[in-house]
Amino acid sequence: MWRYEKRLQYPVNIKRPDARMAKVIISQMGGPDGELAASQRYLSQRYAMPWRDAMAVLTDIGTEELNHLEIISTILRQLTRDLSAEDIQAQGFADYFVDHTTGLWPQSAGGVPFSAMAFQSKGDPVTDLHEDMAAEQKARTTYDNLLRLVDDPDVLDPLRFLREREIVHYQRFGEALRNVTDRLDARNFYQCNPAFDP
């Protein structure tokens, strides 16, 4: 079971609301390479992982992705608080506002709602870990794209932190994949060569 600390992994303190930024950052909430998809991918895949150390990596990173979802949600909330009707119109947020006001609803920057189709859980350790490494690289690219579009230092700071965590996750999944493939290679060797089985 998890112990939940009621604080963000990284602080968010945005002074200037900006719905234009929220409109693109929302992809990291509910887009195909966002934090919601990542958390569900890893926490679903962990159950089919045959080795506890690799399962632990999936659990750790999946749980951290839930915290990243909280960070993104906090960014979005602070970017959309206290907007006037004129701000909403001028900043291109009216389409979202009509359906959700300024409530948080997972979707991509293009307005496509979140779907479980945004992630895979295949049940094969090698396939799933390759999927996870690719997902972390896609998320890093999305953060790179956001960093090119955002100019507010209060928003840039947590986005940079989140981007760096994608790199760390990619490395941890790479280590888990090496451990899994080493075990599978050894298992296949001993199955084909029973005389060498220790």
Which residues fall in the annotated binding site for Mn(2+)? Answer: 35, 65, 68, 136, 169
Binding site residue list:
35, 60, 65, 68, 136, 169
CA-closest candidate to residue 174, choices 121, 135, 142, 124? 135
Q: How far apart are CA 77 and CA 63, in angstroms?
A: 21
Query: How many other CB atoms sit within 10 Å of the CB of residue 196?
Result: 8
10 Å CB burial of residue 117 (0-12, 13-18, 19+) is exposed
Read off the amino acid at residue 39. S
List alpha helices for the chain, DSSP H: 19-25, 27-30, 35-45, 52-80, 85-90, 94-100, 125-149, 153-192
Residues annotated within a binding site for Ca(2+): 60
Determine contact, residues 54/125, Cβ cutoff 8 Å: yes
- CA dist., res. 84 & res. 73, Å (int): 20
